[in-house]
Amino acid sequence: MRGMTDDEHLLINGDGTGDDRRINLLVKSFIKWCNSGSQYQHMLSTLSLCEFSMVYDMNLQEMENYEKIYKEIECSIAGAHEKIAECKKQILQAKRIWKNRQEYDAVAKVIQHHPDRHETLKELEALGKELAHLSHIKESVEAKLELRQKQFHVLLSTIHELQQTLENDEKLSEVEDTQETIMEADGK
């Protein structure tokens, strides 16, 4: 009988082993007690045996369960720690990006205050053209002025020369007149 396993015992004899067998014994002793009334102590001890063995098994199973849950929780804590570290890195990265964006905005604001480069270039070009035009006019006016100056100079010098010639002529004619009067006075 001892060489058999629990399953074989169940199959061949129709009796369960362990708890099941104890329960069967309990039922039999209960019936005996009902009939004879003498098996009371025996029945009580069998009953407590059943209880304790069941409770013992139950405790063992609960322990196993708790161990399993404990390990799971440890794993998830470790996982959570890793996620936190990862998130912290992401926050730092995000803060860097935010800072860069704000720096960009700050510089952009200042740039907006200044006028557009194209417009300024166009204005510069227009001003340059005006400047060239005006200096051209200035040049031509100056040339004209010089020409007039030269012409006046020529005119004035010609007048001077004519004056001189006329004065010379007058002087000559005066001299001739005085010579004539002297000759007339001599001739008488």
Distance of alpha carbon 19 from the chain centroid: 72
Classified as helix, coil or strand, 80 is helix
Question: Is residue 85 close enough to count as binding another protein by CB under 8 A?
Answer: no
The residue within the footprint of another protein, chosen from 49, 92, 132, 156 (CB under 8 A), is 92
Binding mask 96-135 for another protein (x = CB under 8 A): x-xx--xx-xxx-xx-------------------------
**Number of C-beta neighbours around residue 26 at 10 A:** 15
| Close Cβ partners of 18 (under 8 Å, ≥ 6 residues apart) | 6, 53
Give the separation between CA 7 and CA 12, rounded to whole angstroms: 9
Question: Is residue 95 close enough to count as binding another protein by CB under 8 A?
Answer: yes
Question: Is residue 1 close enough to count as binding another protein by CB under 8 A?
Answer: no
Q: For residue 76, what are its two tokens?
A: 């998830």
Question: Is residue 188 close enough to count as binding another protein by CB under 8 A?
Answer: no
* CB contact at 8 A, 4 and 16: no
Residue 60: CB minimum distance to another protein, A = 38
List helix spans (H) across 37-116.
40-113
Residue 138: CB minimum distance to another protein, A = 39
Residue 90: CB minimum distance to another protein, A = 13
Which residues between 137 and 176 bind another protein (CB under 8 A)?
Answer: none
Give the count of residues interacting with another protein (CB under 8 A): 12
* CB contact at 8 A, 15 and 21: yes
Residues engaged in binding another protein (CB under 8 A): 92, 95-96, 98-99, 102-103, 105-107, 109-110
